[in-house]
Amino acid sequence: MSKNIMISSIDLSHLHNLEFYSFVENILEALMKVNQSLDFQKESDQLRDGLVQFDIIFEKKNLSSYTQKVIKLDKKRCASFTGLLQCVRGYTKHYKEDMKQAAEIILESIESMGKQIVYRNYQVKSATFSSLTSAWQNKSGFVEAIEILAMSGWVQHLAELNRKFEDAYMERLSAQAAAPKTKLIDLRAELINVYRRIVKKLEAYCLFENHKAIELCKHLNKLIAAYNKELNRRKNKTKKKE
């Protein structure tokens, strides 16, 4: 009977990352309990190293916090610019001639940068907003026009948002440069290969009716059954949606 004991199959590629991490952790814990009687030290070390790398790569995913900050600040500066632009366009229809002329001066400076500025890439937007706000705050003619329109505070606000964006963007670049280069998919593939070697080795032990190996095999099959139950639940749920 014991000679027929086999490890149940499981499609590890269908496990979510956290589930995969948990599965590897469970396998490692099980191996640690039998390392005194079965030779799985090499495989245990490989799984442990893999989990460490997994942690490092998940830390890389914290880069998303930098990305979210960049996206948030970009939306804010674009909203500020869009509001300013709409206001300036409105002033070009003002009944007061000086207000109308001032608005036309500012609108012309914006249009000289091209159309759909807010839809350009991050670097181009940063350069454009920086160029415009610098001119409006420092160049004669533009300064007077902004003062007539009483939009100095708005221009300052846009300039500050643009600077905050640029700082956040540089922070993200620095974090990306310091992040590990190993891809999660590659690490998963490596750990799956280690697991396959463990299965073959364990089943070989079972052929010789090793009591510890047989108990470990039964334990792993219970573990795999629990993960397969969740995989089947998701699979059935997907079929129902289809």
Question: pLDDT (tens digit, 9 = 90+) per residue, 46-69?
Answer: 999 998 888 777 765 566 677 788
Q: Higher pLDDT residue, 3 or 161? A: 161
pLDDT of residue 63: 61
Question: Does the pLDDT at position 226 exceed 70?
Answer: yes
> By percentage, how much of the chain surpasses pLDDT 70?
90
Helix, strand, coil distribution of the chain in percent, nearest 5? 80, 0, 20
pLDDT band at residue 23 under the 50/70/90 scheme: very high
d(CA 215, CA 33): 11
- Residue 13 in tokens: 């590629």
d(CA 187, CA 191): 6
pLDDT tens digits along 164-210:
999 998 887 776 666 566 678 899 999 999 999 999 999 999 888 88
DSSP states of 62-108 as a string? THHHHHHHHHHHHHHHHHHHHHHHHHHHHHTT-SSHHHHHHHHHHHH
pTM > 0.75: no
Q: What is the largest CA-CA distance in the chain?
A: 99
Question: Does the pLDDT at position 95 exceed 90?
Answer: yes
pLDDT of residue 209: 85
Residue 203 carries which side chain, given as an amino acid letter?
A: E
pLDDT band at residue 1 under the 50/70/90 scheme: very low
pLDDT band at residue 82 under the 50/70/90 scheme: very high
d(CA 71, CA 157): 18
pLDDT of residue 2: 44
pLDDT of residue 124: 87
pLDDT of residue 178: 64
> CA angle 157-159-165, nearest 5°?
105
pLDDT of residue 126: 93
> By percentage, how much of the chain surpasses pLDDT 90?
61
Instruction: Work out the mean pLDDT of the chain and round it to a whole number.
Output: 88
pLDDT of residue 237: 67
Lowest model confidence (mean pLDDT) among 22-26, 53-57, 128-132, 148-152: 53-57
